[in-house]
Structure 1
Amino acid sequence: MKFNRIFAVSKRIFADMKNDKRTIGLIILAPILTMSVFGIAFSGDVENVDVIVVNHDEGFTVPGEGFKSLSQDILSNIDDKTINIQYMDNENHALDKVEKGEAYAVIIFPSNFTKDVFLGVKNSNSSKFSDITVKADESIVNIKNAIYASLTDAQKTTFDKEGFKSPIKINEDPVYGKNAEFIDFFVPGIMSFVVYILTTLLTLISFVGERVSGTLERILATPITETEVILGYGIAFSIIGIIQSAILIIIGILVFNIAIVGNVLLAILGISILAIVCQSLGILLSNLADRVEQAIQFIPFVVLPAFLLSGIFWPIEAIPQWLRPLSYLIPPTYAARASRAVMIKGWGIDMIWMDLLALTIFAFIFLTMAVYSLKTKKG
């Protein structure tokens, strides 16, 4: 073994890199992108969760202390960075907003809330206590925990100031996601993620390989048009996406005992549309690579944004506010949200049609761009 020969091999590798600006850029940009996105996306807590408060509390005049409204004191101590409070008078209207996905919870204070608290504190023999009822969408565990933690902390702060322990019980009345665990939130997201990554990368590498080998050129020399090639790929990968989703759901049920409330076929519909979007994206990216090795360099730029910003593994509400708009430019965001809504909440197509429409628009745009790019490359 001679070090001069080893050094010669290393020198040749760096010489090759010198002539490949794309590789140099990847070596520099990939670590920057990875650390920046991980640091920003995973460093935040859940914020700006919309919660409705229905406050029936009439307050209570405490002898020697004057009028008190403990419900208002608790609400004033809630962290407004975590929870956005909207006040309503009608419980049914408030609950309707949660059922439609326009808010995550309704917090209800009864009419004698303050009175019952003070009577319970002053009379040690009293069995009186007061309830706070929370009717929440518990399908996203992180958000549910943030709501209850904020309410509990505000309650503790309020009663610490009053100088007594809280005689309050929080009644949980889930609207969606009763007994849901993180795995129930996780599986619909991983379905979208797997199809997004595999379909995009398989199409990208396959198309570059066919172009390098001359297969694509021979296909286009036949009466087959560019549009037919793209649509053929779309049909094939949508079927593959359905198969992958079915496998993941079967594993989730048999191994992880996930709960499925809605029509699982509707959830898979969103995934199959996502597969069409991704194969078109793969074809677009293939035009930027001259060989398979260059195609593989796109992996970090395909994987990281979806992994961190599409709400697949981490709620969008926990992503910094200024970064959230980027989440809605990533197709898996809509597939994951739609499949979760169906599988955990039991929503039908009338509730997820906007997510399906967004995926369809992505598919149309990317298919059109893919056909155009194929014609341009051929020309």
Structure 2
Amino acid sequence: MNGIKAIIERLYKSMLKNVKIPVLMILVPLAVLTLMYLVFDVNNNTSIRLGVPDTTNTTFIEGMPDNVEVITYELAPVLETLLDADDLDAFVTIADKSLNITYKNEDPSKTPAVQRAVEKGVQAIENERLERVISALPEEAVLSEMEIETSYLYGHSESTFFEKMFPILTGLLIFFFALLFTSIMLFRERTAGTAERILSTSVRRSGIILGYLTGFGLFMTLQTAIIVLYSIYLLDMNVTGSLAFVFVINILLALSAAAAGIFVSMLANTEFQLMIIILLITVPQIFLSGLIPFVHIGDWFNGIGYGFPLRYAGEALTEVIIKGNGWPYIWNELLALMLFITGFTVLAILKMKKYRRT
């Protein structure tokens, strides 16, 4: 125990000598999170420019959503040049019983939005026809108006894409910077000869690894608390479930990253190797953590995500923050994160045999 305490004290003295690094490790994730908030904190009403002939039924145009700008054309245009020249997303022509749409499709994400907008316009025409039919019926045959009530299982009408990304993005930032900070700090310990001096003492290999993990873990707990509180109280992110579970999940994720960082620092012989290994661990998790919808990822590749801690943390955070669920829904993810911490710690202890056989 005294050996572990001594390693923790020495680690924090080293951090205080170069205080810029731990400060940046706190400020940079906050800056990235703020930037993502500013970029994605908008409703999903994509701005659309739609071209139509000037003979188009005005009811169709008036039925368009507010985010659609309709431009009318007197003469039949050449669509191959018009869509690019006038920056249109689509051109729509309506005959008696047919509708023709030419999509620009430069941005495929806008095409479904155009489809929905056109459907609303067509629905407006159908509603107008229905009203004419109803008005022609005897007064006693007129149907009563239907009242429509809208509710949301998760979120609300003003929910933004950032709110969907927020749980996973927070976990990704915590994991990446914890992994980066831990691996670089310990790699410098090795290259500076400090680790070798510790290895020459009577402290057991397990004690050395646990000392580093505890020291880094305390700092990661502080970093995690700052990121979570900053997101909730300054970026005004809504947490539906228990805030305590949010802290527990993120702290376990940070500890798994710290344990992985200790192991990674022992694998690399140069800084270049260190950065390559960090990227190999982090980049796949960007695609497999849930930031990109799983329906857009092949099943065989999607399954690889369960070999990374961020997948479990992302699912647990989504359950708590968005769905408001608790222990029965996240206990298996928490268990997986603890297994990752244990596994990386054991691997680091075994790897230390390369430097000392005691």
- 1:340 maps to 2:318: yes
Equivalent residue number for residue 112 of structure 1: none
Conserved? CA contact 2:253–2:337, under 8 Å = yes
Conserved? CA contact 2:266–2:348, under 8 Å = no
Conserved? CA contact 2:179–2:278, under 8 Å = no
Q: 1:240 to 1:124 in 2, by over 3 A?
A: farther
Equivalent residue number for residue 213 of structure 2: 234
Residue 287 of structure 1 aligns to a residue in which SS? helix
Give the C-alpha shift of residue 123 in structure 1.
5.8
Q: 1:245 to 1:353 in 2, by over 3 A?
A: same
Equivalent residue number for residue 327 of structure 2: 349
Q: 1:376 to 1:176 in 2, by over 3 A?
A: same
Give the C-alpha shift of residue 204 in structure 1.
1.6
Residue 193 of structure 1 aligns to a residue in which SS? helix
Residue 346 of structure 1 aligns to a residue in which SS? coil
For 2:312, give the aligned amino acid: Y
Equivalent residue number for residue 360 of structure 1: 338
Conserved? CA contact 1:316–1:327, under 8 Å = no
1:274-293 equivalences under 5 Å are 274-293=253-272
Q: 1:378 to 1:128 in 2, by over 3 A?
A: farther
Equivalent residue number for residue 175 of structure 1: 153
Provide the C-alpha distance between the structure 1 equivalents of 2:169 and 2:247, rounded to a whole number of angstroms.
12
Provide the C-alpha distance between the structure 1 equivalents of 2:150 and 2:356, rounded to a whole number of angstroms.
62
Equivalent residue number for residue 264 of structure 1: 243
Provide the C-alpha distance between the structure 1 equivalents of 2:356 and 2:196, rounded to a whole number of angstroms.
8
Under a length normalisation based on structure 2, what TM-score does the superposition of the two structures give?
Answer: 0.56
Conserved? CA contact 1:227–1:371, under 8 Å = yes
Conserved? CA contact 2:239–2:321, under 8 Å = yes
For 1:198, give the aligned amino acid: F
Residue 175 of structure 1 aligns to a residue in which SS? coil
Provide the C-alpha distance between the structure 2 equivalents of 1:293 and 1:326, rounded to a whole number of angstroms.
26
Q: 1:275 to 1:250 in 2, by over 3 A?
A: closer
Conserved? CA contact 1:212–1:291, under 8 Å = no
1:114-263 equivalences under 5 Å are 124-125=134-135, 126-127=142-143, 172-179=150-157, 180-263=159-242
From 370, 376, 379, the equivalent of 2:348 is 370
Conserved? CA contact 1:241–1:272, under 8 Å = yes
Under a length normalisation based on structure 1, what TM-score does the superposition of the two structures give?
Answer: 0.53
RMSD: 2.6
Provide the C-alpha distance between the structure 1 equivalents of 2:224 and 2:166, rounded to a whole number of angstroms.
10
Residue 378 of structure 1 aligns to a residue in which SS? coil
Provide the C-alpha distance between the structure 2 equivalents of 1:233 and 1:210, rounded to a whole number of angstroms.
11
In structure 1, the gaps of 5 or more residues are 1-116, 132-168
Conserved? CA contact 1:191–1:245, under 8 Å = no
For 2:356, give the aligned amino acid: K
Listed one character per residue, the Cα deviations across residues 236-270 of structure 1 (whole Å, up to 9, x for unaligned) are 33333332232223332344321111111211111
Q: 1:238 to 1:287 in 2, by over 3 A?
A: closer
From 269, 275, 279, the equivalent of 1:296 is 275
Provide the C-alpha distance between the structure 1 equivalents of 2:186 and 2:323, rounded to a whole number of angstroms.
39
Give the C-alpha shift of residue 293 in structure 1.
3.9
Give identity over the alignment, percent: 28
Residue 322 of structure 2 aligns to a residue in which SS? helix
Q: 1:294 to 1:321 in 2, by over 3 A?
A: closer
Provide the C-alpha distance between the structure 2 equivalents of 1:288 and 1:129, rounded to a whole number of angstroms.
70
For 1:197, give the aligned amino acid: F
Count of residues paired in the alignment: 222
Provide the C-alpha distance between the structure 2 equivalents of 1:128 and 1:373, rounded to a whole number of angstroms.
76
For 1:372, give the aligned amino acid: L
